[in-house]
Amino acid sequence: MDHFLYRDGRLMAEDVDLAHVAACVGTPFYCYSSATLTRHFQLFTEALTGMDHLVCFAMKSCSNLAVLKLLGDLGAGMDVVSLGEYARARAAGIPPDRIVFSGVGKTRHEMSETLKAGIRQFNVESEPELAALSQVASGLGLTAPIALRVNPDVDARTHDKIATGRRQDKFGVPIDRAEEIYARASALPGIEVVGIDVHIGSQLTSLEPFEEAYGKVARLTRALRAQGHDIRRLDLGGGLGIPYTRGNDAPPLPSDYGALIRRTVGDLGCEIEIEPGRLIAGNAGILVSRVVYLKREAGHRWLIVDAGMNDLIRPAMYGAHHDIVPLHEPEPGVATEDVDVVGPVCESGDTFARARAMPPLEDGDLIAIRSAGAYGAVMASEYNSRPLVPEVLVKDDHFAVIRPRPSIDEMLARDRVPEWL
Ligand SMILES: *Cc1c(COP(=O)(O)O)cnc(C)c1O
């Protein structure tokens, strides 16, 4: 559930009228709901109650400092994938001992900076990375706590671009080679084995792939312990899917996911880490946009809006569905028209929805593209020289701009023309 509901015919974010925000901030803009972020985070902590755990928000999904601070104040840790994300987490007040570092391409510079600060854990994804980390850590006279990311060869049955746990995916080391690599790791200077890491993909709509993967992790934990490794943490990744269509699809609940964790790895006495991103942020954010034109041609209708694929790339990149609703609640039973909802960018892929049944809309009307809180603003670009859209955070009856819209002059001022031109 989320807090974007109609009240007296107007779409609200909690107790804030979104049309009012549009009048203050201009369109397009992202809007996040504090209450929804809080609730989604708490669903995970409740699901793991009774188990020693840390919920590390996968901040690549939504990394505005205000969002990170809100979650950090609730006790969240962070899953980071770059030094930039690490710096954001720190700037938002998250202590290093609640930050885990994932990703296949950590550089030596990223390793040394985060190691010196006392980061909680590196999720190591390959043997060359392990060797580099050992060199960096021993060079600094420090010890790097590691979990090896294992690839369990499980098909997450999700979109091809966000499945990460199959043999052919670039992530982690094959689980059947893990014992050999752990033996090597524990002999390396500057390395301390603390756990196992797994993440099989994103937007999973069934629990079965998790069950299969976590079962394999439990077996590996027992085998590694028998070989003398002190496996005390299990990082089970993120990936739980969200409903992108209201009322239709019902992905598994965090409580069922928690029960699955208990069932598969709960008896091992390990501290459990999870890294949800999408489920916390996805339905906690919307993208508000204004209709520029309704274009009709030979029986085809295009609703041209002022947000584009550069602002929200998920439909173009993944063929993703997003519900789109007007800010003015349509009269019950009003006749709908099938329209293509498109942006202004010069690409045919700049299409948010095809043949979508929409109530009558005119130039100047406001719409909300729902479920845009995760992998939305963070993936935005300035393609077509469109300044990044602002982000707004709502709490109860007030809102704040948590990232202003850059002016066109500010955008241009970043470029440098060499003297010799
Ligand atoms: C992307 C990612 C996540 C978060 O996935 P969600 O589907 O957003 O929950 C967690 N862990 C790792 C390693 C990731 O790459």
The CA distance from 385 to 382, in Å, is 5
Residue 4 Cα to ligand 1 middle (Å): 25
What share of the chain in percent tops pLDDT 90?
A: 93
* Residue 248 pLDDT: 66
Residue 26 Cα to ligand 1 middle (Å): 32
The strand pair at 144-151 and 173-174 is best described as parallel
Task: Give SS3 for 122.
Answer: strand
Told to judge if 56 belongs to the known catalytic residues of this protein, a careful annotator would answer: no
Residue 240 Cα to ligand 1 middle (Å): 9
Question: Which residues are paired to 77 by β-bridges?
Answer: 56
Query: Which of 79, 104, 280, when mutated, tests ligand 1's pocket best, judged by the most ligand atoms within 8 Å of its CB?
Result: 79
Structure tokens at 353: 């929805």
**What ligand 1 atom has the least distance to the C-alpha of 277?**
8
User: Which pLDDT tens digit goes with each residue over 8-28?
Assistant: 999 999 999 999 999 999 999
The CA distance from 348 to 344, in Å, is 10
142: pLDDT strictly greater than 80? yes
The CA distance from 216 to 81, in Å, is 25
User: Which pLDDT tens digit goes with each residue over 52-95?
Assistant: 999 999 999 999 999 999 999 999 999 999 999 999 999 999 99
Please give the backbone phi and psi of residue 155, each rounded to the nearest 5 degrees, phi first.
Answer: -90, 115
The mean pLDDT of the chain is: 96
Residue 275 Cα to ligand 1 middle (Å): 6
User: Which pLDDT tens digit goes with each residue over 239-282?
Assistant: 999 999 977 668 999 999 999 999 999 999 999 999 999 999 99
Closest-CA residue to 143 (of 155, 153, 133, 151): 133
Closest-CA residue to 310 (of 365, 381, 363): 381
4: pLDDT strictly greater than 80? yes
164: pLDDT strictly greater than 90? no
User: Residues 245, 250, 252, 253: is their CA dihedral positive or negative?
Assistant: positive
Query: Which of 199, 210, 274, when mutated, tests ligand 1's pocket best, judged by the most ligand atoms within 8 Å of its CB?
Result: 199
User: How would you label 183-203 residue by residue, b for 16+ Cβ within 10 Å and e otherwise?
Assistant: eebbebebbebbbbbbbbbbb
User: Residues 280, 281, 282, 288: is their CA dihedral positive or negative?
Assistant: positive
Residues with CB under 6 A from ligand 1: 58, 60-61, 79, 102, 199, 202-203, 237-239, 275-279, 374
Name, in order, each residue with C-beta under 8 angstroms of 247's C-beta and a sequence gap of 6 or more.
none
The CA distance from 3 to 250, in Å, is 18
Torsion of CA 281, 283, 288, 291, to 10 degrees: 140
Name, in order, each residue with C-beta under 8 angstroms of 78's C-beta and a sequence gap of 6 or more.
56, 57, 59, 68, 72, 85, 89, 94, 98, 99, 100
Question: Does the predicted model carry a pTM greater than 0.95?
Answer: yes
